[in-house]
Amino acid sequence: MSFILRHLLGTESLSRDELAFLLDQSRAFQGIQKQPLKKLATLRGKSVVLAFFETSTRTRISFGTAAARLGADTMNLQAESSSTQKGESLSDTVRTLEAMKPDVIVIRHAASGAPHFIAERLGIPVVNAGDGLHEHPTQGLLDALTISDRLGRLDNLNFTIVGDIRHSRVARSNIHVLSKFGCRTTLCGPAMWLPPEMSCIAPNVRIEPRLEEALRDAHIVMVLRVQTERLREPALPADEYIRLYQMTPARLALARPDAVLMHPGPMIRGLEIDPAVADSPQSAVLEQVTNGVAVRMAVLYLLAGGAPSAGASPAGSAAD
Q: How far is the CB of 212 from other proteins (least distance, A)?
A: 25
Residue 236 binds other proteins, judged by CB under 8 A? no
Residues in Cβ contact with 251 at an 8 Å cutoff, skipping those fewer than 6 apart? 211, 212, 215
Which of 20, 61, 79, 111 forms a contact with other proteins (CB under 8 A)?
111
Which of 68, 141, 145, 198 forms a contact with other proteins (CB under 8 A)?
198
For other proteins, the closer of residues 200 and 310 by Cβ is: 200
**Closest residue by Cα to residue 115 from 227, 6, 202, 225:** 6
Residue 84 binds other proteins, judged by CB under 8 A? no
CA–CA distance, 205 with 219 (Å, rounded to integer): 15
Residue 131 binds other proteins, judged by CB under 8 A? yes
CA–CA distance, 143 with 223 (Å, rounded to integer): 12
Q: Which residues of 93-111 are buried (b: 16+ CB within 10 A; e: fewer)?
A: bbeebbeeebbbbbbbbee
Q: How far is the CB of 59 from other proteins (least distance, A)?
A: 17
Which of 2, 78, 82, 112 forms a contact with other proteins (CB under 8 A)?
112
Q: Which residues of 245-283 are buried (b: 16+ CB within 10 A; e: fewer)?
A: bbbeeebbebbbeebbbbbbbebeeebbbbeebbeeebb
Q: How far is the CB of 46 from other proteins (least distance, A)?
A: 28
Residue 197 binds other proteins, judged by CB under 8 A? yes
Q: How far is the CB of 167 from other proteins (least distance, A)?
A: 9
CA–CA distance, 179 with 197 (Å, rounded to integer): 16
- Show the site string, 149-178: x = touches other proteins by CB under 8 A, - = not: -----------------x--x--x------
For other proteins, the closer of residues 151 and 201 by Cβ is: 201
For other proteins, the closer of residues 103 and 131 by Cβ is: 131
**Closest residue by Cα to residue 177 from 8, 15, 29, 1:** 15
Radius of gyration for the alpha carbons in the chain, expressed in angstroms and rounded: 19
Q: Give the three-class secondary structure for 53.
A: coil
For other proteins, the closer of residues 12 and 274 by Cβ is: 12
Which of 90, 236, 267, 271 forms a contact with other proteins (CB under 8 A)?
90
Which of 233, 257, 309, 311 forms a contact with other proteins (CB under 8 A)?
233
CA–CA distance, 163 with 227 (Å, rounded to integer): 10
CA–CA distances in Å: residue 307 to residues 142, 263, 310, 311: 21, 32, 9, 12
Residue 225 binds other proteins, judged by CB under 8 A? no
User: Applying CB under 8 A, which residues contact other proteins?
Assistant: 12, 89-91, 109-114, 116-117, 131-135, 166, 169, 172, 195, 197-198, 200-201, 233
